[in-house]
Amino acid sequence: MSQKRAWQRMLSGRRLDLLDPTPVDIEIEDIAHGLSFVARWNGQTHGVYPYSVAEHSLLVERIFLALYPKCAVKWQLAALLHDAPEYVIGDMISPVKAAVGPGYEVLDDRLSRAIHLRFGLPAKIPQTVKKQIKRADKLSAWLEATQIAGFNEQEADKYFGKWTSDIAKETVINPRAPMDVRASYIARYEELITQL
pLDDT at 96: 85
> Once rounded to an integer, what is the mean pLDDT over residues 51-67?
98
Query: Does 98 map to a domain?
Result: yes
CB atoms inside a 10 Å sphere around CB 69: 7
Q: How confident is the model at residue 193 (pLDDT cuts 50, 70, 90)?
A: very high
Query: Does 188 map to a domain?
Result: yes
What average pLDDT does the chain have? 95
- Here the CATH number for the domain that contains residue 153 is 1.10.3210.10
Q: Where are the alpha helices (DSSP H) in the chain?
A: 28-37, 53-67, 73-80, 86-89, 94-100, 102-118, 127-147, 153-160, 166-170, 178-193
Give the residue numbers spanning the domain of 149: 19-193
pLDDT at 98: 84
Give the model confidence (pLDDT) of 78-89 as tens digits. 999 999 999 999
Work out the percent of the chain whose per-residue pLDDT is above 90.
86
